[in-house]
Structure 1
Amino acid sequence: KYTYNALPSKGDHIRLIKLYPGEFRDRIEIEIKTVEFDRFDTPPYFALSYTWNDSHHDRLVVEGKRISMENPMRLEYDFRHPVWCGDRRLLVSTNLRDALRRLRHPTQPQTFWINALCINQDDLDERASQVLIIQRIYHKATMVKMWLSEAGDDCEEGFKLIRRL
């Protein structure tokens, strides 16, 4: 399991991840780096905005059959997926795993700020301090990439609605 180092107490610091290149099904590998925020030498990065699906909302299909939410069989499946930082792993939601698979470049590493990975979610003080600067984090990003989910049956209807608006 990955263990976060504490962020320095002096100044505003954030973590950025380097998402290593790979093909869709390859293992997801990252490097986590702490940087002083708002400095001229803060590296350029993308910020990812995505939905934090709870695992009980994930679709489960076993042997070609969709398993309903009420089916006790769902408890047998783990909806957390590994992301590797060296030989340590962090567990992420299906939706974040899908986003990382789709957004990573096949040959070049990319730098991202992703709240689930860049903020130690087990440290309440850190979470509180990072929330105070989150608007600046998104503002300073080279680009904010949005991810809702993998395309589903209702995707086309959603785009039709957007076009009408």
Structure 2
Amino acid sequence: MAFTYSDLKPGELRLLRPVSIREGTFMSLEMAQFERKRAPPYIAVSYTWGEENDMVTLRLNGRNFSVRRNLWFCLTYLSFHAQHSKARYLWVDAICINQGNIPERNAQVRVMDEIYKNAHCVSIWLGLDPDLEFYKPWIEGSVMTLDLDSFDKVTRLADHEYWSRYWVIQECLLARDIQIHCGRSMMSWADFQEALSLEANLRLLAPAGDSVITEMLDTKKHDALPLLLARNPTDGFSQRPLEELIIHHRHSRCKDPRDRVFALLGLIEDWERKSLERYFPNYSLSHDGVVVITLAHLRELNSTSVTLKSQKLFQGLGVESNERQRRLIAAAEDCPYYIGYDDEIIMSDEARQDRARYMGWDDGLEINQYEEVVEDGLQMSDNMSSGVYRCNIL
């Protein structure tokens, strides 16, 4: 009998506990629901989904559940690893989110950043030893028991397709701690950073916008470099403006071009995210609709002047055609859109000052004057019609 989901309440998540694993032949997991704020220590898994038509059946709460083969391998190794870890539970998006329930999926995508941020650690799965992948069709399940002789293939692993995925940006940058797995071998994020930076002759502590970093990103020497550069070796990740993130990760790829914005929302500063979350993520919007809202956001909130010369930004948004760029710029300029805060949102004085500095307001103004500017803008938007949804392209 196939597995069926029970409803997930607001503020909850599902976690997996390995029960029985027999390599290559059988896997049994238990899934339970917890409040996110009271969840036991868990490992959040970051991986590529794999081939859609290559499925394997496992047992989930005693019922059959189909997963892609790459995830089967991943769960096999990470389940063994979890037995010796403080975190005995796993979180995997393909299983812990009911992918057939659209409202639940949208709600869980909205809190994905919290799920990865609160995990005991994030385990990156880079598959089996690259040398074995070619032979996999001719090898039985025993392939999963083979070890890498060493982790001297770091540079090859840095070009694994995993690093080119858009959603892994958030999964990597928000993690408290990261472990990289390839088959039975494991490597810390710090060791991976050091090995790859030495090979690429890269200064990981260089400031944002450094010319060497910009040149390195444009060469696309390794797919893993944008993430290594975005995550400071000592301090982890600091929130960044959306425009900077879009440009920095412009070479990353995603199946759904709307994710070029949606997958970055958990990485931007809180006050900027608040102004966007009334619209995003929303998969009922077209790609053009998402781009128009984003351009209007950058113009209104960040005072960004977007022109046909903004090619790195458009590359990051997945818009290549000059004609399409021109049309979207015009639509964003005509769009009755205002970026602001809802009345019930209360900001700290420090947050207001940060926002004011970011928007170029006079630092000499008092806090209550910042409030007046926002309230005036909100009143103006209230007098308009219901906003972006009147744009022609939507």
Q: Which residue of 1 aligns with 2:68?
A: 93
- The residue that corresponds to 2:295 in the other structure is none
Q: What is the alpha-carbon distance in structure 1 between the residues aligned to residue 13 and residue 199 of structure 2? A: 39
Q: Say yes or no: does 1:51 pair with 2:48.
A: yes
- State the 1:151 CA deviation: 1.4
Q: Which amino acid aligns with 2:21?
A: G
Q: In structure 2, do the counterparts of structure 1 residues 121 and 159 end up closer, same or farther at CA, with 3 Å as the change threshold?
A: closer
Q: Which residue of structure 2 lines up, in the alignment, with residue 103 of structure 1?
A: 78
1:46-71 CA-partner distances (Å, limit 9, x unpaired)? 00000011236xxxxxxxxxxxxxxx
Distance 1:129 1:51, change over 3 A: same
Aligned partner of 2:16: which letter? I
Provide the identity percentage.
29
Deviation at 1:36, TM superposition (A): 0.9
Partner of 2:141: none
Greater RCO (CA < 8 Å, at least 6 residues apart): 1
Q: TM-score, normalised by structure 2?
A: 0.33
**Higher relative helix content:** 2
Q: What residue number does 2:55 align with?
A: 80
Structure 1 pair 21–143 and aligned structure 2 pair: CA distance change class (3 A): farther
Number of the residue aligned with 1:33:
32
| Cross-structure match for 1:18 | 17
Q: Which residue is equivalent to 1:164?
A: 199
Instruction: Read off the aligned partner of 2:60 and give its amino acid letter.
Output: C
Taking only aligned residues, the RMSD between alpha carbons, in angstroms, comes to 2.5
Output the amino acid matched with 1:31: E
> Aligned pair count?
139
Consecutive unaligned residues of structure 1, counting only runs of 5 or more, are 57-78
- Residues 10-42 of structure 1: per-residue CA shift (max 9 Å, x gap): x41110111125342351111110111123xx2
**Unaligned ranges ≥5, structure 2:** 134-151, 160-195, 201-394
> Structure 1 residues 106, 149: closer, same or farther in 2, change over 3 A?
closer
Residue equivalent to 2:107:
129
TM-score, scaled relative to structure 1:
0.74
Question: C-alpha offsets along residues 92-136 of structure 1, whole Å, 9 cap, x if unaligned?
Answer: 011100101111128949301100110001111111000011110
Amino acid in structure 2 at the alignment position of 1:158: R
Counterpart position of 1:6: 7
Is the Cα contact below 8 Å between 1:20 and 1:108 reproduced in 2? no
